[in-house]
Structure formats: C-alpha cells, structure tokens
Chains A and B, each alone.
Chain A
C-alpha cells in the first residue's frame, strides 16, 4: 500500500464554520506534512510532523490547527477561515525527515471558503 488517503476530496465552508481535513497512510512513515497549493503555484509547506510531534510550523495562522493522533493519521482543523484560504490542501508522508526517500502525496482536498 503506497497510498496517502485524504478526505474529503472537496469541501465548501463558510467563514464561521469549523471543519477538519483528514489524512491517513499505512506505509509506516514517521514524517507527515500539510501543504497548501494555490492555482498554478507550487505547494507551500504548512506543517511537518515527525514521530507524531510537530516539527515545523511555517508561520501558519492559528485558524489552521494541525493534529497527529497517531503515526498513521494527520488532521488539519479549520476555523474562521477567509476566502483567500481557498486552495488545494495536500498531505504527504515520507519515511522520515532525514531519509533520502520519496514523499508520497495524497490527492488533496479542494477547499472553498465562501
């Protein structure tokens, strides 16, 4: 199994809503990532978890709150988002931060904030 599964595939939410994005992998990877990608731009790193601990937070606003309940799951909790937060949110995983191994991406969640 070399899949990273993201749910939901599409999400439309209002600026006062609270929602969560979910990511799951069963490859035994110990590093998991959240990226944000706007149209025609490369993915931008948001958060990195290594061994279930938050390792990197790229100065992401507090309306985005990551959570790593266990080594297979990564959530991104959303609250009070702005329309400019609309984007494709990608989850990725790799064996570890320091390894020269591939990072596998999920198919993304297309988020629209109205």
Chain B
C-alpha cells in the first residue's frame, strides 16, 4: 500500500530560526514528490516538485532534498518568517497505472515572534 509519512506532526519555532521537515514514502514505482504549503482554509500552494534524478531543489528560503534510494525527502526552511506558519504537505505520485498521488498528513508549523 502506498503511504507517505511526515514528521514532526507539528512544530513551533521562533522567527528567524531554521527548521527541517521530514517525509518518508513507500510509493512505488516513483514518479515525483511535491511539497505544498497550505494556509488554514486555503488551497495548497506548490513549493517544489522533484523527480527521481533530482537530489535538491530550492525555491527562495525553501530547499527540498530527495533520496530516492531510502525513499526520504526533507524540506528545509531558512530564516523563518511569521508568514511561514502553515501546514506543509508532502505528496508523492506513482508512475504508470492510475497516477493517483498519495498525500501525507502534513506538518503544522507555527512561527512565533
């Protein structure tokens, strides 16, 4: 069964600090992994998308890594801002078949001043 596990479930940090969110998956065969940021009551916004051959991808203060061998990904947020408070969702899509993506349950990040 395809699964995406995220940790931690929630995280509280001070403004200006860095943090790293984890995503482990069992989706196979693997097509791509995406990180989304979702504010409460809003639609998810894409941060990065990574395919099998990509190890690192950055989008401003967000840097995602992918280890396709160990089926792990991380999202590193640098110099956090209050506006980074949101849920961060890892989504993994298979190749072939139905292409239905599997969503993680998300990490809830709260940035305090």
Contacts and interface: CB of A to CB of B under 8 A. Distances in A.
A110 interface: yes
A61 to B, nearest CB: 19
B43 A107 contact: yes
Contacts of B49: 100-102
Interface in A22-50: 41-43, 45, 48
Interface residues of B, number: 22
Interface in A88-114: 88, 90, 92, 97-98, 100-108, 110
Contacts of A11: none
Contacts, number: 47
B99 to A, nearest CB: 4
B46 A98 contact: no
B89 to A, nearest CB: 6
Contacts of A105: 36, 43-46
Q: Which among A6, A43, A45 has the highest number of chain B CB atoms within 10 Å?
A: A43
B97 to A, nearest CB: 10
A100 B43 contact: no
A15 interface: no
A101 B101 CA distance: 12
B99 A106 contact: no
A8 B79 CA distance: 36
A12 interface: no
B41 A42 contact: no
Interface string B87-101: 001000001001111
Nearest to A110: B41
A42 B34 contact: no
Contacts of B34: 102-103
A61 B89 CA distance: 26
A43 B99 contact: no
Interface of B: 31-32, 34, 36, 41-46, 49, 51, 89, 95, 98-101, 103-106
Which 8 A-B pairs give the minimum distances between C-beta atoms? A105-B43, A42-B103, A97-B99, A100-B32, A102-B46, A107-B43, A105-B44, A108-B43
